[in-house]
Structure 1
Amino acid sequence: MEATIGDKICIHGNVVGHADRYGEIVEVHGDKGEPPYLVRFDDGHTGLVFPGPDAVIEHPDR
């Protein structure tokens, strides 16, 4: 998985009743765009994310 600053991330809810979470990648801590990522989620929360198989990176500028 590779990302750059400004890419969007969607983490799909993996339990019934849990909504998908959306955010913007504001920092990339791994080499060559690899995780972990600092993400600012739509609800204003910011957190360090190690995305799993339920995550999708969207590259709007590519």
Structure 2
Amino acid sequence: MNATVGDRLLVHGHVVGQRNRSGEIIEIRGPDGGPPYLVRFDDGHTGLVYPGPDAVIEPR
């Protein structure tokens, strides 16, 4: 999984009733565009994310 700053990270809920989360990648800390990513989520909080198989990157 590779990304660039400005791409969107979508994390699908994997438990019944859990909603999807999405946010903008604001920093890439791994080599060659790899994780971990610093993400500003749509609800306003920022977090360091190591995306799993339930995550998708949307190019900007």
TM exceeds 0.5?
yes
Question: How far apart are 1:6 and its partner, in Å?
Answer: 0.2
Deviations 1:11-56 (A, max 9, x none): 0000000000010000000010000000000000100000000000
Identity %: 67
What's 2:26 paired with? 26
TM-score (norm 1): 0.95
Q: How many residues align?
A: 60
Task: Kindly report structure 1 stretches of 4+ aligned residues shifted beyond 3 Å.
Answer: none
Question: How far apart are 1:3 and its partner, in Å?
Answer: 0.3
Distance 1:9 1:45 in 2: 14
| 2:4 partner amino acid | T
Matches for 1:1-62 after TM superposition, within 5 Å: 1-60=1-60
Distance 1:25 1:16 in 2: 26
**Structure 2: tracts of 5 or more residues without a match:** none
Distance 1:19 1:45 in 2: 16
